[in-house]
Chain A
Amino acid sequence: MMSWPFRIIGFLFWYAKEFVSANLSVTAEVLRPRARSKMRPAIVAVPAASRSDSEWTMISSLITLTPGTLTITISREHGILYVHGMFVESREELVAEIQEMEDRMLHAMRRAPGDLTRPTQLPVVRPLDEAGESR
């Protein structure tokens, strides 16, 4: 196990690599003729292991910063990130990709990795207006 400052640098290099390759794939998709499009968009609920405010902010910003994936909203009470992906073949694929990024980020942000458990069941949600809320 590397010491903490080196883990941060390692994560930055890993993220930079992901960032460039995601940019290339989105650019290629825009330039590709519509008939050969590989686009498979989806909005997926990803269980997350983040706990503190700064971790939630960082993971959702990092996801949005990677072109092709976009955090639409988070649910802190259920521990869920709602992520829109551009090239999603299956639900599990996007979940694994996001959770790998989150694992690496948490290892870089926390001095000791600590609790990395994620909620296993998706929450039962209902439309906001049933409760008369306005958001």
Chain B
Amino acid sequence: MIRRPGTQLVGALVLIALLVAVTASTAGPAPRRGGVLRFALIGEPPTLDPSATTVGVTANVGASIFEGLFAFDRSWRPQPMLVDSYTISPDGRTYTFRLRRNVFFHNDKELTAEDVVASLNRWGKVGSRGAVVYQSVDAVTAQDKYTVVMRLKEPFAPLLAFLALPSSMAAIMPKEIAEATPVGPVKEFIGTGPYRFVEWVPNRHIRLARWTKYSPRTETPNLYAGRREPLADEVVFYPVGNVATRIAGVQTGEFDVADSISTDLYAQLKADPRVVPEIVDRGIWLVFFFNKKSPLTSNVKLRQAILVALNMQPILQVTIGNPDLYALSPSLYPRGTPWYSEAGAEWYNVGDVERAKRLAAEAGYRGEPIRWLTTLQYDWMFKATTVAATQLRRAGFTIDQQVYEWAGVVERRARPGEWEMFTTGHGFVPDPALIDVFSPAYPGWWDSPTKTELFRQFTRAVDLQERQRLWHRLHELVYTEASWVKTGEFFFVHLRAKALQGFTPAPWFVTWNLPAIK
């Protein structure tokens, strides 16, 4: 019998293919362990201590090393992280946190209530958000080895959201480190997170390694909450200031993820088979703050005049370009969240030159220069300011656009005598109480009596419905008192390698539950 030489081979191949198919279907989705995850950051973080600063690059790295008592889930509700269970007293003034057991710091020490007390007390001093919380805190004490009691002077409804936020994070660290650094950032980065700090070579890389004693929660992973598993052996962050270089690095396979790529390239990169641009759907509010201590813009009529003169569509169109990457809405929070509100919408995106002129005349404005601080360091700030300034000039305002690098803007805006407006981006915050415009200490200094009283009620109300009712009134007040101009919201885009499966686009990097490519 003459056999055709290929038959046996074909038969073997079919058999192998069948075997592979069967194995694949029965093996289940056991995620790959090992390898290195490589993230290209927008620059060098000022520190890796997420308690001491609100800087985004720090939170991006710190969120893998440190953990808080709570963490946000996908719908931005705080869920327990280091806390096992907790109770809130009916008057909303006593929180009792029972900690998880057998949680180990990266120095092998077990997490206890004393570490939590020391870390929170330090956060109350060095963290800008901690300081806000601690205005309401009476005392934080360790009731026993695993129980922490937080007593408040008055109810503070957004407490758990503050404890869950990765930026200006209520990071839990060993008591000795927390107590040794009462001012400024810590020098030792020891947390309980899925990855431990290994080395930081300035301007070259920050290297983290899997924390082998990490004890994950058991709930299904849900953004920052739930089970965290350090799948990769290492996570390395590279500071790459040039955006084109970050992009090229993902295209060539040197990085797995690039932070914040330019939105102009979104369409082009979508067509590139090697990479996937991922939109982070919680955006940045592009805002113009008014100085309420300046003789000019302390006048609410003048602020209203500027607000109604502006047409937001062209501002965002020029600044961002691709309509997939920005959103126009009077509401600060998107539809479907508890904080969606249309109160005050009639003041948003008006672009009425005549009404602006009328209001300016009523305010007694006589063409005095409005000093507007901006920077070229973030090109979107400069673009947005330039378009808005053109619109305002058309409505009869004299705009003195002052361009500094970012550090210069930050210094000048702290001095009330030197400006009327400045441009910035306001990162997403899960609870409205965290929005800077409500802080009377934040440049712009909004502290009208109505706002102060409403905001006080809002932070004290424990019942969600009551808080929503008060939020609508505050939301309206932001517009009627023209405390700032929120032009709209734009979205950051991260770029990932196509082969990197399971990446979660989020405001701060999620490095766990993420299998490395190699």
- Whether chains A and B associate is no
- Interface of A toward B, CB cutoff 8 Å: none
